[in-house]
Amino acid sequence: MSAGSDPAPPGPPDGAAGDLRADPDVPAGIRYDPDLAVHEPMATGTEPVAPGRRRSPLVLFAGGLLGLSAVIYALFGLIARETRTSADYLNEVRIGRGDAWRAAYELSRMIPEEDPRRRDPATARQVISLLEEARDQDARLRRYLVLALGELRDPSAGEPLAQALADADAETRIYAAWGLAALGERRAAPAVAPLLEDSDPGVRKMGAYALGVLGDASQAAPLLAALNDPVDEVAWNAALALARTGHRGGLPLLGRILDRGYLDARTRADDAGRPVPIDEDRKVDLLINTLRAIALLDDRSHLEAVRVLSVSDPSPRVRQAAIETLERIDPASR
């Protein structure tokens, strides 16, 4: 997730992508000898002829059939998926097979794309019921049921999402915080605030993001403490969240973010925990969100840094955001 920007929709779970079935091996050892092909008369040699190394057309034909079968399987799978509804996946979860979490994952993907008019009005209640039953089951099942619940944007989801903030699974806590932010459940802000002290940096980052979206100024204290988080993206989200609540405590950090040299020197941990440079897209998103925060606070103490970005930043998106910030807080600069 880019710091301060909406998390992107989560990606697929381990083992959920692609065809789950293995294609059979192409039979080996089928060869043909090109010297046995009929061309024109030729002398017969006295030495044994070594077999050729080219595969028989039978092998190529068999491989073509396998490829065609895979295409047909994928095509019909796609058609079947497009005709399914959220109720179909709920039924699969309810059956409770060992791979019920896969159905929950597909459910969480389908809900944002599904026409709500096709959806059973009781879907949220059914997901909540399944989530309660899954309390001691596979963490992946709880994880995607919580995500689906957030995607539904149903007011009844507030309480079960708040309870999921204490789940033992870190990703479930992340999805619960995101769901409460998506709901705009401002009453949940006190329950979200403890996430800023979570041992998982991803949970802390989402907690700061959610508090910013919920905009509860009473939670400024934990956000101010999070400005000193050892993980940059947590601290940046805390500064942006403070700005969204109207608090100016994050301005010194926001001012540093406006410096490209500062961003170029920062790193983030990759999936293996190794430090890697921050990619350009993340920098652009962070700069744009920071400029919006500066405008929101009507901060004039960083005008010079904003002017520099408006004329010299390599990203046209950042330059445009800087121009809009200047127009808002310093109309004379136009």
Same domain, 234 and 276: no
Q: Is residue 306 part of a domain?
A: yes
Angle 131-148-125 from CA coordinates, rounded to 5°: 55
Judge contact between 235 and 285, C-beta under 8 A.
no
Domain final residue, candidates 226, 242, 258:
242
Judged by DSSP in three states, 275 sits in strand
In this structure, the answer to whether residues 171 and 227 fall within a common structural domain is no
305 occurs within a structural domain: yes
Range of the domain at 319: 250-334
Q: How confident is the model at residue 44 (pLDDT cuts 50, 70, 90)?
A: very low
Among residues 183, 203, 231, which one ends one of the domains? 183
Residues 238 and 255 in one domain: no
Q: Is residue 309 part of a domain?
A: yes
Q: Are residues 287 and 259 in the same domain?
A: yes
Claim to verify: residue 110 and residue 174 sit in the same structural domain = yes
Question: Which residues, other chains included, contact 10 with Cβ-Cβ below 8 Å and sequence gap of 6+?
Answer: 108, 147, 175
| pLDDT band for position 288 (cuts 50, 70, 90) | very high
Model confidence over 50-69: pLDDT tens digits? 444 555 444 455 556 666 66
Same domain, 228 and 269: no
Q: How does pLDDT run across 93-152, given as a tens digit for each residue?
A: 998 767 899 999 999 999 999 988 888 999 999 999 999 999 888 999 999 999 999 999
Q: What percent of the chain has pLDDT over 90?
A: 66
- Confirm whether 4 is domain-assigned: no
CATH number at residue 216: 1.25.10.10
pLDDT at 224 > cutoff 70: yes
CA distances from 217 to 16, 50, 222, 233, 305 (A): 40, 84, 11, 21, 27
| Same domain flag for 115 and 136 | yes
Say whether pLDDT at 41 is over 50.
no
Residue 51 is assigned to a structural domain of this protein:
no
* Residue 158 resides in a domain: yes
Task: Judge if 201 and 164 occupy the same domain.
Answer: no
Number of domains in the chain: 3
Whether residue 285 is predicted with pLDDT greater than 50 in this model: the reply is yes
279 has a pLDDT exceeding 50: yes
pLDDT for residue 73: 52
Averaged pLDDT of the chain = 82
Mean pLDDT of the 260-285 span: 93
The structure tokens listed for 330 are 């310093």
Crossing angle of the two packed helices 303-312 and 316-329, in degrees rounded to 10: 140
Statement to judge: residues 333 and 260 lie in one domain: yes
**Residue 36 domain-assigned (yes or no):** no
| Domain contains 47 | no
223 and 148 in one domain? Answer: no
Pick from 140, 158, 183: which residue ends a domain? 183
Give Cα 302 to chain centroid, integer Å.
Answer: 33
Asked if the model's pLDDT at residue 21 lies above 80, the reply is no
Is residue 216 within 8 A of residue 245, CB to CB? The reply is yes
Query: What span, in angstroms and rounded, lies between the C-alpha atoms of 100 and 54?
Result: 46
Exposed e or buried b for every residue in 13-40, given b needs 16+ CB within 10 A? Answer: beebeeeeeeeeeeeeeeeeeeeeeeee
Position 254 pLDDT exceeds 70:
yes
Range with lowest mean pLDDT among 35-49, 51-65, 295-309 = 35-49
Reply yes or no on whether the pLDDT at 47 is more than 50: no
Backbone angles phi, psi at 271, to 5 degrees: -65, -25
The answer to whether residues 274 and 326 belong to one domain is: yes
Rounded Cα–Cα distance for residues 220 and 77 (Å): 49
Output the pLDDT for position 71: 61
Residue 264 and residue 305 in one domain: yes
Q: Quick one: DSSP state of residue 54?
A: S
